Structure 1
Amino acid sequence: MHINVKQIAAAATFAVLAQPVLAEDVALSLISQAPGSSWYSYGSTFGEIISASDGDFNIAVEVLPRGGGMTNPVAASQGVADLAFASANAAVWARDGIGEDFEGRKSEDIRAVVGGLQIAHSTIAARKAYVESTGKDTLEAMMAGPDYPTIVMKPQGSQVPIMADYMFEAMGSGLEDMRDKGAITQISTAQIAQMLRDGTADVYIENSPVGQATMTEVTLTTDMVFIPFPQEVLDHMTALGAPAGPMPAGSYPGQDGDYVNPTSATILIANKDVSADVIYQVTKALVEQRDAIAEAYPALADWDPQAGAQPDQAVIELHEGAARYYRERGWIE
């Protein structure tokens, strides 16, 4: 019998090529917040989308039910988590090691995956009655004294006091200085609306997405005026990862025009050492399921993945895997 060696070799080669290429198993952890929070809910959906994604990897995502805006950048930088939700401004503070929470310990190993998921707005709202009785309709006038308004905001642990400190810093003051002048009252959100209603507070500083419950209650139960931000504050906050942007007219009662303010986006970040090929697949999966994400979470309905890839929304350096995907889409150079 004549054996055709070439045919046997060709057949063997075909058999090898015909075998399905097995995707590599990869486990990723995603730190969010405690159950019941929006970030935990987002994490569950993002994890499902990533785990179901097509590509070279079978990715299994574990959502860590802990963390927060100030701790997640550190967790991602230290490799405690591979992926993390973070506030854009806090990511900048952590990366650069600035502010009380991060001073002396830079978290330089974080990179952006998707930006601009949900925009929070910094707002300064004053009781209309206070403005009319004092004539103080600017932040400069309110900070000039000698009679200072009672400014209410959330207690320590929130980003709001930190944001306020940076705002005052841009005007040559600071949170401690304003506190020493008797102008600052930090209370729970449950008390803020009541104090403004009964006139024991004059000004409310907040950082939240449009529709946040406390701001909605305040503006529905008390006539409020939105106080404009001085340009030096907007410039300072932009440098600190909170770029200026508009809160659309009519977002709240008493807000007739677009309100230009420091904004802070929720972003998804990763440790820089996570494989670029893995992050490419993660980015592709999330962007291409944008409509499904928006349908599941109306708060994310305004997410524009192309805008989120830009420096003003991604804020920190893009992960090389995410950057590769965005370049393929023609969204970045």
Structure 2
Amino acid sequence: MTRTQTRSATALALLATVSLTLAACADDSGGGSGGEGPVDLSFASLDQGSAWYSYAVSMGQAIEPALEDNSVVEVLTYAGSIGNPELVATGEADLATSFSAVTSWAVNGTEGTPFEGEAFDNLRVLVGGLDQYYFGPITPAGSGVDSLRQVVDEQIGADLVSQPRGSLGDAGTQLVLQAYGTSVDDVTSWGGSFEPTSTDVATNALRDGNADLWIQAITAGHPNITELAETSDIRILDIDDDAVAALEPLGLQAATLPGGTFTGQDEDVQLLGFTTTLIASADMPDDVAYAITEAVIDSADSLREANASMAGFDPATAWTAENTGGVDLHPGAEQYYQDAGLME
């Protein structure tokens, strides 16, 4: 996907998507951490039904009382992992969920990714390692598709769905197909189709037999994938070694989804792996970044309770390069981790 396509998709999302304003959570004793007055923050996530939307709502509820009285965190139901870094870098959002590898692509303008040729080097990480994500293909058991390699070798006209434009689901689908030596255009030329759509629509399409493949970012406890596995017969397919090797230069590594993660998925599956990060611009005031980071870390227990896919979130490693994709911490966040004794 080109940068122009990403911008166009982001603009459409900005026009078409309704955002949610969280109810203020401050108690009667007054506001939270420093600043010169109330702060209005926009928090880019993904569409309702996605894990990221749930994360943003939960984190927003933790962040609001940590800021000055009457501060507001507005959760935006767009634009996904590819769109979110650009929204933050250009000042259209103050906070966003992103993936560690994708934020690194955005900061470095990595060749072979949607950010090639345009680096957003003002992006900074507040919190890393919020979860462990995987990326790979899901198919209904009756689709006749046993592997992506089979789709290519037999030129199967599969009906593909993905998450909306601007999400990793969309861009990642195309990168994975490229790693197998094919493309969306090839699949459609074989009689298949490709529809970027909402998480809920993609879920229903697989359940109802209206799609053959969904190449998707998933995590243990993901609400839609959990529901899909419990209400229909699906299979999660391997990403083979050759495809993994082709994607490693982009910072995507093999990761094993343990057997039993989802209903009916009894065996380990080799997929791609990365973590979710909370990002902001370097222009965010240090005291605001400090307060946000502190609020998220202090709320780790409640965040894990509210989001099953965050069960492995460990504040002690939230600042490490492994969990931030090697992207610099915001100075305010770094100061918090030092003050909290989590890093030297």
TM tier, smaller: 0.7 to 0.9
Percent identity for Structure 1 against Structure 2: 24
1:268 shift after superposition: 0.9
Aligned pair partner of 1:113 in 120, 123, 126: 126
Contact 1:35–1:65 (Cα < 8 Å) also in 2: no
In structure 2, the partner of 1:46 is 62
RMSD over aligned Cα atoms: 3.5
Amino acid in structure 1 at the alignment position of 2:106:
A
Gap regions ≥5 residues in structure 2 = 1-32
**Is residue 271 of structure 2 the alignment partner of residue 261 of structure 1?**
yes
Alignment of 1:1-333 (within 5 A): 24-25=35-36, 27=39, 29-33=41-45, 37-51=53-67, 61-66=71-76, 67-69=78-80, 70-97=82-109, 102=115, 104-128=117-141, 137-145=146-154, 147-148=155-156, 150-154=158-162, 156-157=164-165, 158-186=167-195, 188-189=201-202, 190-195=204-209, 201-212=211-222, 214-220=224-230, 222-240=232-250, 242-315=252-325, 316-326=327-337
Contact 2:157–2:188 (Cα < 8 Å) also in 1: no
> 1:6-56: per-residue Cα shift (whole Å, max 9, x none)?
xxxxxxxxxxxxxxxx954263624235896424412431322532xxxxx
Change (3 A) 1:114 1:244: farther
Change (3 A) 1:233 1:168: same
SS in structure 1 of the partner of residue 275 of structure 2: strand
Gap regions ≥5 residues in structure 1 = 1-21, 52-57
TM-score, normalization: structure 1? 0.72
Contact 2:63–2:295 (Cα < 8 Å) also in 1: no
In 2: Cα distance, 1:125 partner to 1:246 partner: 15
Structure 1 runs (4+) deviating above 6 angstroms are: none
Deviates more, 1:256-265 or 1:162-171: 256-265
Deviates more, 1:232-241 or 1:65-74: 232-241
In 2: Cα distance, 1:83 partner to 1:220 partner: 33
In 2: Cα distance, 1:114 partner to 1:41 partner: 16
Deviates more, 1:63-72 or 1:247-256: 63-72
In 1: Cα distance, 2:70 partner to 2:84 partner: 20
1:165 shift after superposition: 0.8
Amino acid in structure 2 at the alignment position of 1:208:
I
Contact 2:240–2:270 (Cα < 8 Å) also in 1: no
Contact 1:92–1:240 (Cα < 8 Å) also in 2: no
In 1: Cα distance, 2:242 partner to 2:128 partner: 25
> 1:238-270: per-residue Cα shift (whole Å, max 9, x none)?
543544333232122332233232234332111
In 2: Cα distance, 1:289 partner to 1:155 partner: 29
Contact 1:28–1:61 (Cα < 8 Å) also in 2: yes
TM-score, normalization: structure 2? 0.70
Change (3 A) 1:80 1:310: same
Larger Rg computed on CA atoms = 1
Number of residue-to-residue matches in the alignment? 297
